[in-house]
Amino acid sequence: MTTARFDLTGKVALITGGSRGLGRAMTLGFAEAGADVAIASRKIDACEATAEEVRRLGRQASAHACHVGNWSDLDRLVDDVYARFGRIDILVNNAGLSPVAASSLETSEDLFDKVFAVNLKGPFRLTALVAARMAAGGGGSVINISSTGSIRPSPDIAPYAAAKAGLNTITVAMAHEFGPTVRVNCIMAGPFHTDISKAWSRSEGFTQHARRAFALGRAGEPDEIVGAAIYLASDAASFTSGAILRVDGGLP
């Protein structure tokens, strides 16, 4: 009975940024839990490779080239996934952009706009598109992937932190807008070892900092986000909406 509550068999998940890092881990984790998965990112080859991994797990998969900062891309993405699978039961807004800036003064308008487009504007629009269809149908679950940077900002990531703080905010707003049949939640992720972060997450300086500052004394591995994501996607979280769940190794 308990295991059945986490079962995603027969569900269709759309995961942005689903071909690498945390997105790939969630894609494969959802497939192992029984879901079919639509994988979206800017690089179609990477999406196709991950889709093939999903198929080897016995589930259906589709690959979609999409820039989440472009609303026209999102309209097309949703139409394509519905044409392929007939529905979306789970949406994971995972695609992100986190460049480091030397200073606020040296942050260009173009960089600022790109950071907000990918981390906030895109998830806002994609959630509106998908959750509206979910609410008109049988309901569903939306999971936003935020960052502990949203509550522990540093100067070099100020636009990124602000965008993720906005993502926290729209999580709560949209939970109320699209409830009671659509649940909207957020995972506030701490530092994870991914191909993007490995330059600093495995550095001696960060390792020493983590040992002192984090309850678990380390950064996470990508598959360590999967349990939280499956919980929020599944019937096990049937009374959870508008929640922001920290998965950060015990950030103080």
Per-residue pLDDT tens over the stretch 109-126: 999 999 999 999 999 999
Active site residues: 160
What is the pLDDT at residue 197?
55
What is the pLDDT at residue 211?
79
pTM for this entry: 0.95
Full set of structural domains in the chain with CATH: 3-247 (3.40.50.720)
pLDDT digits over 26-51, tens only? 999 999 999 999 999 999 999 999 99
Which pLDDT band holds residue 242 (cuts at 50, 70, 90)? very high
Are the C-beta atoms of 189 and 248 separated by less than 8 Å? Answer: yes
What is the pLDDT at residue 196?
66
Distance of alpha carbon 58 from alpha carbon 28, whole angstroms: 11
Residue 76 reports pLDDT greater than 60? yes
Question: Mean pLDDT throughout 207-214?
Answer: 77
Per residue, the 3-state secondary structure of 144-202, as one string, reads EEEEHHHCCCCHHHHHHHHHHHHHHHHHHHHHHHHCCCEEEEEEEECCECCCCCHHHHC
CA 2 to chain centre: 25
Residue 203 reports pLDDT greater than 80? no
